[in-house]
Each structure stands twice: as C-alpha cells, then as structure tokens.
A and B are shown apart, each in its own frame.
Chain A
Amino acid sequence: MAQVRFDKVRKAFGAAVAVEGLDLVIEDGAFVSLLGPSGCGKTTTLRMLAGLEFPTSGTIAIGDRIVNDVAPGKRDIAMVFQSYALYPHMSVGENIAYPLKKHGVAKAEREEKVAQVARTLQLEHLLARKPRQLSGGQQQRVALGRALVRDPQVFLLDEPLSNLDAKLRAHMRAELIELHRRVGRTFVYVTHDQLEAMTMSDKIAVMRDGVLQQYAPPKEVYDRPANMFVAGFIGTPPMNFLSGEMTGEPGRAAFRCAGTDLPVSLAGGASPERKVALGVRPEDVSLGSGPFTGTVRLVEPTGHETIVVVESPAGSLVTRAGADVALAIGERVPFDLEAERLHLFCAASEARLLASFTRSGAPAQA
C-alpha cells in the first residue's frame, strides 16, 4: 500500500514560494504526472517527496507513514534524475547494485537481482561498462535499473526523457508505460512535456506558480480544463481564446463574438458574467463554411495535417485542417466552431464556467 498524500504542503525558499497549499492524493499503483512550465513547483514537489527538500509546512505521507522527518534512503522510494546521476567511476553493474549494497543486501543476492534487472532492461551486455561509454538511452536505462533493483514503493522520475532525442523519447515512453504496468508500483513523473504526461499518466496534476490547477485523468484535463491556464497549456497547438461578452438573461444567454451570437446555457441558471473568454481547440474549428469569416495569415503543412492561422474580427485562431487543404495566405475563408466542444471561461478569474453551447438557439443543459 503506497498511496502518496500531500496535505497542505507549502515550500518557501526565503521569500520565494515554490509550492503553496498543495493537497494531492496519488493512489497506490497509479502513474501520476506533475505537469507545468519551468518554475511551477513540480520538481520541488517531487524533491520534497524524495526527501531532498523539506516542506516549510504541511505533511507528506507515503502509505500510512508521514515521511517529513524520514531520510531519503529510508523512504522506500527510488528516483531517476534528469541527468541520470550515474556514479561515473562505477560500472553499470556496480551502479545498479549500489542501493542494494547500501541497504546491506548480501553479495550473492545483489548479483542475482542486478542480473534480473539487467535482463528486464536489456543491459546484460553492458554491465561491465562505465556510464560514459554508454549512449544517452543506455544511461537512461541504467538509471531506471538502479531505481528498479530496489523494488521501492514509489518511483520518482524527474524529467527522465528530456535529454533524449525525439525518436528515443517516443521509444522510452512506451517502455516506461510497459514498465509501470509490469511492476505495478506508484510512479510520480515530473515533466514539462504535455505529450509525455498525456500519453503515460493515469492522472495529471497541472501546476502553475506553485499552485495545483487541476488533478484529473488526461482526457478530462484535455476535455474539461479547469481554467484558462490548463486549457492553454495542454494541447498542441494550444487552445484559442476569443474574448467576447455574454448577452441576454440567465437561462437564455448567448456569447457574442464577431457579430454572431452563440446561444449558451450556464449551469444552475447562474447569471452570466459580462466578460468571458471562449476557448476553442484548433481541431474544433472547421474551415470552408460557417457563420464566421476570417483571413488566412499562415499555412503550415506538417505532412499529416495543415495548421492554418486565421485572423478573424474576434481574434487570431489557430486551426487544424486536412493535409490536402488548399488555402492561400490572404484568402478570405468562412469557418465554423463546433458548438458542443467549446469552453467558456470567466475573463476575470480565468476559471471554467459550466456552460454548454447549442447551435439551434435552444439552450442545452450543462
């Protein structure tokens, strides 16, 4: 049982607050990503869990044990560092065996476990080499091996793939998913790469400026972002925001954008905020027909699709079109928004408003 629990955790470095009021429960055996831009507090959170930083206040528990005062080596965790942090003077085998040695495991058992881990990670032929003789991907696997060999309750991974090239990264993503499935332990994974978070995690904790923004499964984070930050951070290209205002009265409200009213129903009959932002994912804009028109500013064919930037009276829109779309820069193009997949945010608080849009004018339920 290795549920990880953060309870009102705060971490300040002098006047700078790195993590503020973090409440987070990571279920036993889950793969959870801490996602956010640089300086959002995700690495500090992980380091507090590892015991490399100490919370200013609040408690951290692994399983039933509060670990605030437990030394890193006694927390039954293993960590993979961004730089791998392999001991340069030790061979691959010695690196993997090191945590066992420090925990007093007998030599014969050590060797057996190292061999087993090496087999799992296909490192058998490299055991006698030194880390500097290995490629980035191999070093990565050794670092994983050093974590695996202890069979810890919780694996902590601090941007482990960020030093690899794109192809290897994709490969290692798949390996990590497979590894997690096989060992069935709790994985806490820090990344700024939303693709890694989306593809690998059971749940994503999106952080910003030390504050947890949303903690939900990847699909929910994508489909129902809690606020404009999450909405803009997840997805490539990012979500478009159109500013506009709500018109009408509660229950029969509409979002007025570029002269066109989109009927919207706000949940619970709440009175509409006057200033709102409409979030539109690039794939939810269809070019070619619709009530809106814009001018093509940029056409970026990527091979399997084409990214088209359209300038409309309501603002600039990044859209996704088919690979064979034929549009010229400067061309006027009509477009439509997929009403069922639009997001409405309060412009002031940036929080998601429970709303649903309808095409017909008859408001739908949230």
Chain B
Amino acid sequence: MTATTITGSAAAGAPRGSALDRRYAMLGLVLIAPSVMIFCMVIVYPLVSAIYLSLFSIYTPTLQGDFVGLDNYATLMASGEFWRSLLNTVIWTVCTLTLQIVFGIAVALVLHQNMAFRALARSLILFPYFVSTVVAVLVWRWLFNDLYGILNHMMMWAGLVDMPLDYLGSMPNAMISVVIVGAWKYFPFVVIAVLARLQTIPEPLYEAAKIDGAGPIARFFDVTLPQLRDVLVVIILLRAIWDFKEFDLIFLLTGGGPLISTQTLPLMVYKDAFGLNDMGRASAVAVTMMLVMLVFMIAYLRLTGREEKEAAQ
C-alpha cells in the first residue's frame, strides 16, 4: 500500500516530491526492469517476428524468401486443410476441456469427503499430471494397440466386441482417443484447483441449505457450484488456452492422422514449418491461431466479467 502511494505521487510528477520519494521511484524502475526486458525477449520479439515472417514466403532450411504481403493469409483462408484443422482444434479443445472439468469436479468432490486413505488418494490423483507426456502417450499407445493392446483384449474377453478396434487409426475413434487421453492427462489440474476451493466453502452454508430443505443435489447446484464459479472461470481460461495450443500429446498419439483427421492448428504449424519447409505459411497459421484464441478469450472474459459485475451490483 505504501508502495502504491509512493509510486503514485512520483508518477504524478509532484514538483515537491522529496528526494526519498524519487529514490523509491527509481528503485521501483530498477526492480521492474529485468522483468520488462525478459518479457520483451521471450514474448514481444517472437510475436513480432512471427507476424513479420508470416508476410514472407520463406524456405525453412535457409530462412530465405520473398515478401508476399498477405498472400499467406489468403492461401490459408482458401485452404480446406486450415479450416479442417481449426475445426479439429475446436472439437478437441471443447471435448477434452468438458471432460476435464466434469471429471475434475467429480473427483474433487469425492476427495473432499472424509474417507480412508484420502491423503494417499489425493497424491495419487496427481500422477497423470506429473508424468511426462511422452511416457504417458507411449503407455496409452500400448494400451490402445490393435494387435496386443490390453484394451482390445479386455473388450473381446468381456464380449463387447468381436474384432479388435482400431483406436488410433480410424475415425471417430482417433479423435475420441485423443480427447480421452487429454482429459486423463490434465484433469488433475482441475481436481487440485477445485479441491482447494471446496475446502474454503463455509460449512454453515451447507447446514443452512439442509435446514432450508435442500437435498444433496440441490446443495451442489445452489451452494457448491456457485462457490466454485470464480475458480472455474480461471481454470477454464487457462486450460482452454493450453488445450488450444496442445501439440505433443496429439502429435505423439496420432501425428494428426488418420490423414488430417486429428490434425489441430499447432500440428499444422509444425507440418508447414518443418515438413513442407514453408516457414511463412506456418507463421501465418500461428498468427491466425493467436487471433482466434484472442477473440475467444476476450469474449469469454467479457462474458464472465459482466456476470461478475451484475453479481456485484
């Protein structure tokens, strides 16, 4: 609070600001400078650079090329592959995020109960999140394998299918598999965040609801869910961003296949840049991706922000 006052008066450029005031203001600048420099280096430069590259037709190995203006974008807009990848990205993000949220909340509710081995269960639940994506994907590919995977083995043993299913090589199985593995990998993040919030919901709210005649389901929708709202806004925002630009999990699991059925925009960027050696077009996809994300995020924050404001009034 003191710092705010000091910088506030310094910023106002009060002529009678004491030497101490100015020294504090200077200290503030010095302390903030490294962050600003690092931010410029790792965020601003790549961003500007990507936008710049997207205006050229560039051969990746030599990074040589000609200025083409917005041609890359025009090509993209006309390309079916781009739209298909965008659609895939949206399907993947929406589906895997929904599963993460639903399972995350469900598991958090279970782990919030007083039960045996709760501490152990709480630690174990983090396992998928901790495990390296490469390792996780290798294990899943093994489970999914159509020749010797345990999943097919068990399904056939249980009599659910007559023939082994091709989980990763046919549609819609491939997309479903990717979505499920994504949900499995990232739902612990939701569990942890929701669990932390659950523990701070005051018990009397539930007791009041019980006395008011609310059953368990009504208590969930009338007490728990509204209390989780703020944390869910943040989780959905973060997870949507991360899922939208998810690369390694999908790339390792299906490589975007069959054909481009599970190819999302990040995979398309990779393919254009290093498969087709067209860095310009890849940059254009990346920039477009960023714009799409930006539009969604602004809309989302506006929406939740407005609800919040209404709630506050």
The chain A residues found within 8 Å of chain B, CB to CB, are 50-52, 71-74, 77-79, 81-83, 85-89, 98-99, 102-103, 130, 133, 146
**A72 and B211 contact, CB distance less than 8 A:** yes
The residues of B that contact A74 with a CB separation of less than 8 Å are 213
Which of B212, B215, B226 has a CB less than 8 Å from the CB of A99?
A: B212
**B229 and A79 contact, CB distance less than 8 A:** no
**Residue of B at shortest CB range from A149?**
B212
A362 to B208, CA, bound (A): 60
A78 to B211, CA, bound (A): 7
0/1 string, B280-313, CB within 8 A of A gives 1: 0000000000000000000000000000000110
The residues of A that contact B218 with a CB separation of less than 8 Å are 102
Query: Which chain B residues (218-238) contact chain A, with CB distance < 8 Å?
Result: 218, 222-223, 226-227, 229
A72 to B219, CA, bound (A): 13
**Residue of A at shortest CB range from B206?**
A85
A83 to B218, CA, bound (A): 21
A146 to B210, CA, bound (A): 13
A277 to B143, CA, bound (A): 82
**Residue of B at shortest CB range from A75?**
B211
A99 to B227, CA, bound (A): 19
Residue pairs across A and B with Cβ atoms less than 8 A apart, 21 shown, are: A51-B211, A72-B207, A73-B210, A73-B213, A73-B215, A79-B207, A79-B211, A83-B204, A85-B204, A86-B208, A88-B227, A89-B226, A98-B209, A99-B211, A99-B213, A102-B213, A102-B214, A102-B218, A130-B311, A130-B312, A146-B212
**B222 and A87 contact, CB distance less than 8 A:** yes
**Residue of B at shortest CB range from A152?**
B211
Interface status of B205 (Cβ within 8 A of chain A): yes
Contacts across chains A and B counted by CB atoms under 8 Å: 64
Interface status of B34 (Cβ within 8 A of chain A): no
The residues of A that contact B223 with a CB separation of less than 8 Å are 87
Q: In the complex, what's the smallest C-beta–C-beta distance from A34 to chain B, in angstroms?
A: 17
- Across the A-B interface, give the 10 residue pairs with the lowest CB-CB distance, nearest first: A73-B213, A102-B213, A85-B204, A99-B212, A85-B208, A89-B226, A72-B210, A72-B211, A81-B204, A79-B211
The residues of B that contact A130 with a CB separation of less than 8 Å are 311-312
Query: Can you name 9 extra interface pairs (CB under 8 A) apart from A87-B208, A89-B229?
Result: A50-B211, A51-B211, A77-B211, A79-B208, A86-B208, A89-B226, A98-B212, A99-B211, A146-B208
**A83 and B222 contact, CB distance less than 8 A:** no
**Residue of B at shortest CB range from A83?**
B204
A152 to B229, CA, bound (A): 32
**Residue of B at shortest CB range from A147?**
B211
Interface status of B80 (Cβ within 8 A of chain A): no
Interface status of B159 (Cβ within 8 A of chain A): no
The residues of A that contact B227 with a CB separation of less than 8 Å are 88-89
0/1 string, B177-209, CB within 8 A of A gives 1: 000000000000000000000000010110111
The residues of B that contact A86 with a CB separation of less than 8 Å are 208
The residues of B that contact A78 with a CB separation of less than 8 Å are 211
The residues of A that contact B222 with a CB separation of less than 8 Å are 87, 98
Given A98-B222, A130-B311, A130-B312, decide whether A85 and B214 contact each other with a Cβ distance below 8 A. no
The residues of B that contact A72 with a CB separation of less than 8 Å are 207, 210-211
A72 to B214, CA, bound (A): 9
The residues of A that contact B208 with a CB separation of less than 8 Å are 79, 81, 85-87, 146
Given A81-B204, A83-B202, decide whether A102 and B229 contact each other with a Cβ distance below 8 A. no
The residues of A that contact B212 with a CB separation of less than 8 Å are 73, 98-99, 102, 146
Q: In the complex, what's the smallest C-beta–C-beta distance from A187 to chain B, in angstroms?
A: 15
A88 to B212, CA, bound (A): 15
